[in-house]
Structure formats: C-alpha cells, structure tokens
Amino acid sequence: MKTITKNTSRNLQAKVLRVLFLLALLATMLPAVTAQIAIESFAATPRTVLPGNEVVLRLTLENGGDEDIENVAVALDLTEVPFAPVDSSTEKNIAEIDENGRETLSFTIKALPNAEPGTYKIPITIAHNESSKTSLLGVEVKAPARLEAFLEKSELQMINEAGDVTIKIVNSGLSPVTFLKVTLLESPAYQILSPAQRYIGEVDVGDFETEEFALRAKAENPILAFELEYRDAQNQRFTTAALLEVPVYSAEEAQHLGLVKKNTLLPAIIVIIILVGAVLVYKKRRKRKEAKRE
C-alpha cells in the first residue's frame, strides 16, 4: 500500500514539474508573440521613376503587439536592383516603437541611368530582438518611348520627276521600341510609286533605321506625311505623325539653281536653221534676178 502511494506521489510531482516547465517556456515566448512589427503602408513618390531620377520610399511600421519595441533596424537591399542610395544609407534605426504605435521613415534612392523599364522588387529587412523579417517593396521604372523622323536623302529635284526618298527614324527616347510600322499617307502633292507601308520591328534606344520610298513630285516642296505605329517596353501601343518637307523646284528654278544643265545645243540649232533659211532665200532671189536679165 505504501509503495502505491509513493508511486502516485512521484507521478504527481512529475506532472507538476512538466506544467511548470511549460509555463516557464511560454513566459519566455510571450514577448516574441506580443511584439509584432508589420509594414502598415508604403508609398513611392513619384509613383513611377525615370532612369537617372530619384524616388522617395516612405513606409510606416506598426507595432501590433502590447509591448514597446526597442532598437528596430530597417535596411534596404539594392544589390540586385538598378538603384543606388542618395545622400543617405540604406539602413535606418528606430529607437523605440510604442505598443500599438506607428513610426514612419523614408529612403531616397535613384534609378540608375541604364535601368530598364519594369517593376522591381526591393527587399527590405526589419530586425529587432535578434529576429528579422524580410518583405518586398515594388518600385516601377518607366521610360517613355520617343521616335523622330528625318529626311536622309532625296533624288527628287523637279516637279513631275520620279525618284527615291530615304527617311531616317531615330529612337531618341529611353525605352526600346517594338513592332514599329511606318506608313506614307496619300497626298495630292506627290504620287507614291512603291509600297506605302513598311514594317521595321524593333529599334533600340539611341539606334535608328532607314526606309526608302519611290515618289513622283506633283508640287513644289511637297510635305510627306508619315504615320508611325509602335509599342513601348510595357507593350503599350502608340501612334504618332511625322511631316517631312522635300525640296522640289520648278524647271526654271532648278535650271537657275544649276540643278539641271542648260540645253546649249538648242540655241545653236536655231541659229543654224536661220542661217540656212537666209542662204536659201538669198539664192532664190538671186536666181529670179538672173532670170529677169536674160
């Protein structure tokens, strides 16, 4: 009977010890459970940034627990994205965030000049009490596409003359262009002798493409009307117009400017015809006079 009582007492003591151990373990875990930091809000100003420009990242941290949190470290990781810090470090510290409190901090970063358009995920790590959590902040780099057209070369000189006209299309924007299509529009000032539409495709930043069209000028200095249709890096469709003036002169102006050689043979032929006619008339009159004398 005494043996049974001793065993029961020992079992009871063991259970009590296990309960006390669990309570002690739970007590050590409570600060981590009650101290919770989360990003309540995030904003980028401006919402989209151009390559080479600055953007301010502003985020608000919230302490969702019921205890104050001290020594909070917030760090951006820019190693894998085309951004660099501006006049500040990529890491900032918050001395304390009160229970159920909030703290706002900001980072100023700059998109590198060679940053390609797109949305980049920037890792941000929040560390406190030997624990850390990493989240991602989205920042969009948007580079506008821009095309310019120039008259490269023209064989046209006079009205009603046919020849080739070469244009140059330059990508002077910050985004590559894709699916570029060029259309020469109809006009009473010229007649299109070749296909009016050409497909070019892709034009990189700072690059150019040339296209040639066969025309017949119907007026002096005709203005060629082109339509440029393309898509930017975000696959957004654009349609722009380009107007190019082609120097075309009348026959008299072209001759005066030395663009057309003067026909020096024609006046000589006229003079010869006049001289021959005069000789024939003279001979005919002379024969009449001789006939009268006889």
| Model pLDDT for residues 222-256, shown as the tens digit of each residue | 999 999 999 988 888 999 999 999 999 877 776 66
For the chain, give every domain's residue range. Answer: 36-141, 147-256
Q: Which residue has the higher pLDDT, 172 or 21?
A: 172
Q: Which of 73, 71, 106 is nearest to 87 (CA)?
A: 106
In the prediction, which pLDDT does 29 show? 46
Domain at 147-256: CATH architecture: Sandwich (2.60)
Residue 194 structure tokens: 């070749």
* CATH fold of the domain at 36-141: Immunoglobulin-like (2.60.40)
Q: How does pLDDT run across 177-230, given as a tens digit for each residue?
A: 999 999 999 999 999 999 999 999 999 989 999 999 999 999 999 999 999 999
Q: Which residue has the higher pLDDT, 121 or 285?
A: 121
How much is the mean pLDDT over the chain? 83
- Highest mean pLDDT among 38-42, 139-143, 183-187 belongs to 183-187
Same fold, 36-141 and 147-256: yes
| Mean pLDDT within 25-35 | 44
In the prediction, which pLDDT does 163 show? 94
Q: DSSP E strands: which ranges in 86-221?
A: 91-97, 102-111, 118-128, 131-141, 147-154, 162-171, 177-184, 190-192, 197-203, 208-217
